[in-house]
Amino acid sequence: MQRKDLPKNFTSYIHEQISQLAPIVSVSLKDVLNPRSWDVIYDDSANDQQKAAVRSYLVLLNVDQALIDQIKIQDKINHYKDEPMYKFEFKRYKAANPSATFKDFLDYLNS
């Protein structure tokens, strides 16, 4: 799979998933379909247990499912962002949460 075939925010999605396990600086997806080839640069505050959790996540990660999950998220964003009611509600949500993204808004709606 070429990088151009990836969902728009797949790298960000993976970064977000890994950052929930350990404080990181960045993730580099060398061979997208092989998580074992990815480089994770940890923040200095990451401990050995957190790094082990990331390694386990990468070993067990089903890239196909991760791509499908990201595509579904992107489809929801694309579907709802053109709905007038959601635009209005998103503006209100954004005013209360200035750093929020549209994905954050969808997560808020689905919670």
Does residue 13 contact residue 79 with C-beta atoms inside 8 Å?
no
Q: What is the pTM of this model?
A: 0.57
What proportion of the chain, given as a percentage, has pLDDT over 90? 26
Q: Do 43 and 72 reside in the same domain of the chain?
A: yes
- Mean pLDDT within 49-57: 95
- Mean pLDDT within 50-69: 87
Phi, psi angles (nearest 5°) of residue 42: -85, 150
Q: Do 71 and 87 reside in the same domain of the chain?
A: no
**Best mean pLDDT range from 49-53, 56-60, 69-73:** 49-53
- Give the structural domain span for 108: 81-111
Rounded to whole angstroms, the maximal C-alpha distance in the chain is 47
The dihedral through the CA atoms of 67, 73, 77, 79 has a sign that is positive
The runs of H, that is alpha helices, within the chain are 10-19, 48-60, 63-80, 84-96, 102-110
Look up residue 108 and give its amino acid: Y
Count of domains in the chain? Answer: 2
Q: Do 34 and 69 reside in the same domain of the chain?
A: yes
